[in-house]
Amino acid sequence: MELQQIKYFLALAQELHFWNTAERMFITQSALSRQIKALEDELGVQLFERNKRSVKLTAAGAFLRDQWLPLLDEINRTHMQARKIHEGAYGTLRIGYPGSIAYGFLPDLITSISHSLPELKVDLVEPTDVSFEQMLLNYQMDMAFRRDPAENPALQSECLYSEPFALVVPQNHRLNAQNFTGIHDLREEKFILSNLTQTTFYTSSLRQIFEDNNFTPDVHIETDFGGMVLGLVSKGLGVSILPYSYSFSALPNVRFLTLPYTVNLYVTWRKNDNSPILKNILQKVTEAASKYSAEVM
């Protein structure tokens, strides 16, 4: 017994007309008759009572119609779901990200994904920089955005865009775009920064900025969370240096002054990952990055 035979049977059970059913199923009437006869022989039951003028279901045929119809609907739904999985339109993708892209690029990307792949579930994870690669290799994430390319040869990275670092000051701060001349203007300021002794790429970029300017910041508060930094700066508790992406947070009482230093954003994934979902999302990432880079540079 084949699935196609059941489909022929259910179509005939609805039409109760061999010619109409054959036309609907795109086969000849004689071929349809053979398929129904073969099904009856295999089951050992008569499914239809037929004469020259009419076709009607037997009691056994009516019973099988009522049993098979919902099963066929479920099979069709299952096949459709499998097709969506094959096309990368259904499933789950876990994405790691740094907090700096949470206010502009990432929301734009997730919006694009939601519109074009509405049945795809996205899990967002914000780990510390040091755990990104390990989480990818352990299949705890499928894709990660980070500020430096991956070092592990099992991972692949692509640079999406560069953006400036920016000095972040309270809105009423004495420095503005007109009178700010450089880092040396901040010698009397209290800073809110990540712990500069960390070995992450981000903190090494901050150290480079200060070393280039022969400047030692007076770090008054340490935190690794950019959202917290913005909140503290808005309260007048100090100044900071963050990627310009944070300017899209729309937090009141803060001002951003761009610096002559840039930081990159990379997307990283497992080289051997042939997931159709990942392929679709990487395309969306490239499109969103192209649009977003025009806004931040």
Specify the CATH number for the domain of residue 37.
1.10.10.10
174: its two tokens: 């004495």
**How high is the pLDDT of residue 172?**
94
Residues 37 and 175 in one domain: no
Q: By the 8 A CB rule, do 210 and 183 touch?
A: yes
Could you report the per-residue pLDDT of 238-284, keeping only the tens digit for each? 999 999 999 988 788 999 999 999 999 999 999 999 999 999 999 99
Residues 130 and 274 in one domain: yes
Residues 241 and 269 in one domain: no
Q: Which helix (H) or strand (E) holds 285?
A: helix 276-296
Q: Can you give the CATH number for the domain in which 227 is found?
A: 3.40.190.10
Residues 154 and 272 in one domain: yes
Q: What range does the domain containing 245 cover?
A: 163-262
Q: By the 8 A CB rule, do 22 and 32 touch?
A: yes
Structural domain total, the chain: 3
**How high is the pLDDT of residue 276?**
93
With tokens 């159709």, the residue in question is 276
Domain end point (choices 38, 69, 86): 86
Give percent of the chain with pLDDT exceeding 90.
73
Residues 80 and 34 in one domain: yes
**How high is the pLDDT of residue 189?**
95
Residues 131 and 191 in one domain: no
